[in-house]
Amino acid sequence: MDRSVSPPLMFSDKPEFKALSEHYDHIESKRMDECFDEEPNRFEHFSLSAAGLNLDYSKNRISDETIKLLVDLAESCGLPSAIEAMFMGQKINLSENRPALHTALRNFSGEPVMVGGIDVMPEVKSTLNRMEAFCWSIRTQQWRGFSNKPFTDVVSIGIGGSFLGPKLASEALKPYWSRKINCHYLSNIDGSDLTETLQGLSPETTLFIVQSKSFGTQETLKNATACRDWFLDNGGCEAELARHFAAVTANVEKAQSFGIDAKNIFPMWDWVGGRYSLWSAIGLPLMLTIGFENFRQLLQGAHAMDEHFRNAPLDQNMPVLLGLLGVWYNNFFDAQSHAILPYDHYLRGLPSHIQQLDMESNGKSVDIHGRPLPFHSGPIIWGGVGSNGQHAYHQLLHQGTQFAPCDFIIPLMSHNAVGDFHALLVSNCLSQSQALMKGKSLEQAKTELLAQGKTEEEISVLAPQRAIAGNRPSNTIYFDKSTPHVIGALIAMYEHKVFVQGQIWGVNSFDQWGVELGKQLGNKVHSALLACHDEASEFDSSTQGLINAFRSMKNKL
């Protein structure tokens, strides 16, 4: 960044923001159901397909003018050149002085990607080849456990970005699992997670993959050590550790000093952020269960979305439109959260992954020039699988004082055709977005109550409680089936949506200083919990009081 040039205007100081604010005043009172009445082809008009995904964004509080003004805003915030800078490997992660190049991990274009004058693609490809060979030897049972039995279980040990993406993709692609290899994820520093994960596994047939970019994360190292102890205590021996432990890390030295054989260590690069690392060797446990070809399909789906994001005009660009719609609600309608609602059992992990991706990337209150933001940046991301959510938190979506735009996500075909189940699931999904949009008028509520024989007095109290305002926006993302290609495209689409928003708000979407602070503080409290005697406290009275409570319980055991 050239510090001699004064920083650009923040997005809220730009004339394009002012134009949108004025437009908001006109459109705010407009009802979407009226728009649908007035525009018979609104669905086709506000629909888009890319990389095997379809987006219906017609149930949004928008007109053509809204999209035009949002695109003007994106242009004035330099989005097109920022997209190019990311793909070209420029150091867009300014606070850590490095590129953010997850797109290189799924780059099938044949084009080089230069970092510091060196093409990273040969190393990316050779790592993928190594992963393929590793995967092949395990899946064809050439590589076996210490008692010569084939591997039946893989335990992935990692947390945060080294956990949520692979876990989501493993669950999403369960129909593609080889029946011979099960995949388990161990993340939390919680003896219960460890115990439950190892329950029923045999050291003879279990492969552990320690997944840590830094190889310095407390939870992961503790779990890895516990798994190694379990292996050694249950028939394994030091000499056989190399057969049963692999690692994915940027810190090869630390992995080796942990005891992992150099030939079983797969690289990570500093230009891949944890939450963007599914596409790297961090995807190894997934590859072991779904096979190399399906993993490649996942990468290709993501690459197809990358190509779309890089080349489509902004007003026909899926991640751009989703990002801009998010900005529209966040900064003009004052929505402070966004719900991710997959109607697919296999996609139940999607809200957690998108939550990390979005909140860790754009949960920032200072821009890349160090200026405090006078507006809201990343929203709270939450959600869960439908239709379960309909019987729970959807109430707030329909009638709460909080306003949360939603993404409904649904495959048109199920992997498990059971009677008319899928039609029922789809009908729940479609009727929810319809209900959010249309609501139920006070008049309708009154008519219903009248038909039930209620008195005027009762109706005046009950009808407002039963009326549903509607006009609540949602996107519907639908596709033929949850295939590896589609899942790759879907995850990449959200990655790029987050990038678009970060660019508009002017924040660095690729650092995470708050998460780093948590890692440092945890170690100090841990030492205090284990101390045998009181030392001068460096903690506030609440933290010290809680430490004391733990220690006195420990002393009673």
Residues with active-site annotation: 360, 391, 519
Structure tokens at 333: 């309608």
Structure tokens at 14: 């730009």
Instruction: Report if residue 165 touches ligand G6Q, rule: CB under 6 A.
Output: no
Instruction: Report if residue 214 touches ligand G6Q, rule: CB under 6 A.
Output: yes
- Pick 153 or 511: Cβ nearer ligand G6Q: 511
Among 160, 326, 383, 386, binds ligand G6Q (CB under 6 A): 160
Secondary structure (DSSP) of 463-474:
HHHH-B-----E
Structure tokens at 302: 């993501």
Strand, coil or helix: 80: helix
Q: How far apart are CA 347 and CA 53, in angstroms?
A: 15
Instruction: Report if residue 362 touches ligand G6Q, rule: CB under 6 A.
Output: no
Which among 104, 80, 2, 100 has a CA at the least distance from the CA of 508?
A: 100
Instruction: Report if residue 508 touches ligand G6Q, rule: CB under 6 A.
Output: no
Structure tokens at 205: 């047939």
Identity of residue 400? G
Instruction: Report if residue 308 touches ligand G6Q, rule: CB under 6 A.
Output: no
Q: Please tell me the total number of residues recorded for the chain in this structure.
A: 557
CB of 469 to ligand G6Q, least distance (A): 38
Residue whose token pair is 């309608």: 333
Strand, coil or helix: 47: strand
Instruction: Report if residue 280 touches ligand G6Q, rule: CB under 6 A.
Output: no
Strands (E), 227-272: 245-249, 265-267
- Pick 251 or 294: Cβ nearer ligand G6Q: 251
Q: How far apart are CA 202 and CA 304, in angstroms?
A: 40
Among 101, 297, 512, 528, binds ligand G6Q (CB under 6 A): 512
- Pick 273 or 405: Cβ nearer ligand G6Q: 273
Strands (E), 360-460: 380-383, 406-411
Q: How far apart are CA 268 and CA 410, in angstroms?
A: 33
> Which of the 8 DSSP states describes residue 39?
-
CB of 392 to ligand G6Q, least distance (A): 27
Instruction: Report if residue 189 touches ligand G6Q, rule: CB under 6 A.
Output: no
CB of 520 to ligand G6Q, least distance (A): 12
Q: How far apart are CA 178 and CA 149, in angstroms?
A: 17
Instruction: Report if residue 167 touches ligand G6Q, rule: CB under 6 A.
Output: no
* Window contacting ligand G6Q (CB under 6 A); options: 89-97, 213-221, 332-340, 415-423: 213-221
Which among 262, 270, 268 has a CA at the least distance from the CA of 248?
A: 268
CB of 48 to ligand G6Q, least distance (A): 29
Instruction: Report if residue 236 touches ligand G6Q, rule: CB under 6 A.
Output: no
Instruction: Report if residue 213 touches ligand G6Q, rule: CB under 6 A.
Output: yes
CB of 219 to ligand G6Q, least distance (A): 8
Instruction: Report if residue 161 touches ligand G6Q, rule: CB under 6 A.
Output: yes
- Pick 161 or 386: Cβ nearer ligand G6Q: 161
CB of 222 to ligand G6Q, least distance (A): 12
- Pick 100 or 449: Cβ nearer ligand G6Q: 100
Q: How far apart are CA 437 and CA 476, in angstroms?
A: 12
* Window contacting ligand G6Q (CB under 6 A); options: 135-143, 166-174, 270-278, 462-470: 270-278
Q: How far apart are CA 484 and CA 30, in angstroms?
A: 40
* Window contacting ligand G6Q (CB under 6 A); options: 271-279, 300-308, 447-455, 486-494: 271-279
**Burial call 335-374: b when 16+ CB within 10 Å, e when fewer:** bebbbbbbbbbbbebbbbbbbbbbbbbbbbeebbeeeebe
* Window contacting ligand G6Q (CB under 6 A); options: 155-163, 172-180, 303-311, 482-490: 155-163
Among 220, 297, 331, 377, binds ligand G6Q (CB under 6 A): 220
Q: What is the rounded (10 degree) CA torsion for 139, 145, 151, 157? A: -100
CB of 484 to ligand G6Q, least distance (A): 23
Dihedral pair phi/psi, residue 8, rounded to 5°:
-70, 165
Among 273, 291, 323, 502, binds ligand G6Q (CB under 6 A): 273
Site for ligand G6Q in 368-397 (CB under 6 A): none
Contact 57, 47 (CB under 8 A): yes
- Pick 115 or 268: Cβ nearer ligand G6Q: 268
CB of 9 to ligand G6Q, least distance (A): 29
Among 156, 212, 471, 503, binds ligand G6Q (CB under 6 A): 212
Instruction: Report if residue 283 touches ligand G6Q, rule: CB under 6 A.
Output: no
- Pick 413 or 517: Cβ nearer ligand G6Q: 517
Q: How far apart are CA 446 and CA 457, in angstroms?
A: 11
Residues 114-143 as x/- pattern, contact with ligand G6Q by CB under 6 A? ------------------------------
Which among 463, 401, 466, 389 has a CA at the least distance from the CA of 433?
A: 389
Q: How far apart are CA 282 and CA 297, in angstroms?
A: 16
By the criterion CB under 6 A, which residues form the site for ligand G6Q? 159-162, 212-214, 217, 220, 273-275, 360, 512, 515
